Amino acid sequence: MSNSSLNISQTQNKLTLNFSGELTLFTFTAHQKTVDSSTLFNSQEVEINLENLSYLDTAGALFLDSLYENLSKKSHTVLFIASNQEITETLNLVKNKKDNTAEIKTQDEKDVISLIGKFTYKNYIGFLSFIAFLGELFATKMHYLKSIRNIRYKEIAFEINESGVKAIGIIALTSFLIGLVVAYQSAYQLKIYGANIFIVDMLGISILRELSPLITAIVIAGRSGSAFTAQIGAMKITEELDAMRTMGFSPYRFLVLPRIIALMITMPILIFISDISAIIGGMLVANLDLKITTELFIDRFNEVVAAKHFFIGILKGPFFAFLIATIGIYRGLMVKNDTQSIGFNTTKSVVESIFAVIVCDAIFSIMFTNLGI
């Protein structure tokens, strides 16, 4: 398809570049190489002959124009010979519209120090905005709980149904399986020592105190935390949040507080359900594998597992719920005006809330142990 050619001829003081055929963006690279490698440019006068050119596109014209400028810079006299009107028009267009004043900015150089600086600053700002969110949350809470009429019972009930009642099945099933697995693994070890009955102590304390609250929190973080982020993020993109604000409906009152309150109410109940089903799972294994009857299991449970373990587990519920709900909602409010950031923030919301729950659990663990509870 390349039917374009370049002839270079020299007469005395004059160099003639003879272009013919079509000079387009598909064809001029070869000529560029020829011209660049040419050592012939020692004559004062250069003539660019376009008489035989059948077609010139803007890329070709740009090539000719930069050739012209290069040569002019080296104090050659350059002369274009062209009579075809279309070709001269293209050349003039390129000449007039070419912008040499500004360069397209390339991405900032990736220098390690500035990357660390930017990363730190970004995280610092993110942390500050989360603190600001908590502050605003607290301020709105104070403002709206001034009167009992301000509480949105309907929304709270709706959220309790959405993130509490509908989660009972999955939480019961997960906890049941966790109880089963823990009991099965320890039964094998206990049998070696003939310490079968101690499975009750082990299951009772570990499940009530640690496993149930954690499992419940993780399931809820994945289920409700992500839902909060996605719902609120989508509302932000469609300007629904702005619309609410201009109508004087504070999103904190209508969306944020009901979700947080609902989750703080449901979490302890869900932990209780998780306790029951995990213990049932453990009891089943004890019965089948270690030949401990249900009556014996319950008797022993009554005897060795103090009620404080149960209450500690339940007490963790509202704290975990607060962390999951605030992080989920905060991430939703951080969604920018593009769809990608919904995905990004939903991921962040789940990861951050699970992390926060585990950190919180560790703090509780140390605290209660030191207090001797």
CB of 249 to other proteins, least distance (A): 7
Based on the shown chain and the rule CB under 8 A, indicate whether residue 136 belongs to the binding site for other proteins. no
Nearer residue to other proteins within complex by CB, 149 or 291:
149
Cα dihedral sign, 259-265-266-271: positive
52 neighbors 81 (Cβ within 8 angstroms): no
Which one of residues 51, 86, 89, 242 is an interface residue with other proteins (CB under 8 A)? 242
CB of 242 to other proteins, least distance (A): 5
Phi, psi of 40 (to 5 degrees): -80, -5
> Interface with other proteins by CB under 8 A: which range of 29-37, 65-73, 75-83, 239-247?
239-247
For 166, other C-beta atoms within 10 Å of its C-beta total: 12
As given in the structure block, the two tokens for residue 141 are 């809470």
> Interface with other proteins by CB under 8 A: which range of 183-191, 233-241, 261-269, 282-290?
233-241
CB of 244 to other proteins, least distance (A): 8
Which one of residues 178, 215, 235, 354 is an interface residue with other proteins (CB under 8 A)? 235
CB of 352 to other proteins, least distance (A): 25
Instruction: Indicate the helix (H) or strand (E) that contains 43.
Output: none
Taking each helix axis from N to C end, the angle separating 198-206 and 257-289, rounded to the nearest 10 degrees, works out to: 170
- Measured between alpha carbons, how far is 143 from 268 in angstroms, rounded to an integer? 27
Based on the shown chain and the rule CB under 8 A, indicate whether residue 143 belongs to the binding site for other proteins. yes
Give residues 247-306 in contact with other proteins (rule: CB under 8 A): 247-249
Chain centroid to CA 111: how far?
24
229 neighbors 329 (Cβ within 8 angstroms): yes
CB of 262 to other proteins, least distance (A): 16
227 neighbors 350 (Cβ within 8 angstroms): no
Which one of residues 173, 243, 298, 366 is an interface residue with other proteins (CB under 8 A)? 243
Based on the shown chain and the rule CB under 8 A, indicate whether residue 89 belongs to the binding site for other proteins. no
Q: Which amino acid is residue 20, in one-letter code?
A: S
In the complex, the residues that contact other proteins under the rule CB under 8 A are 143, 234-235, 238-240, 242-249
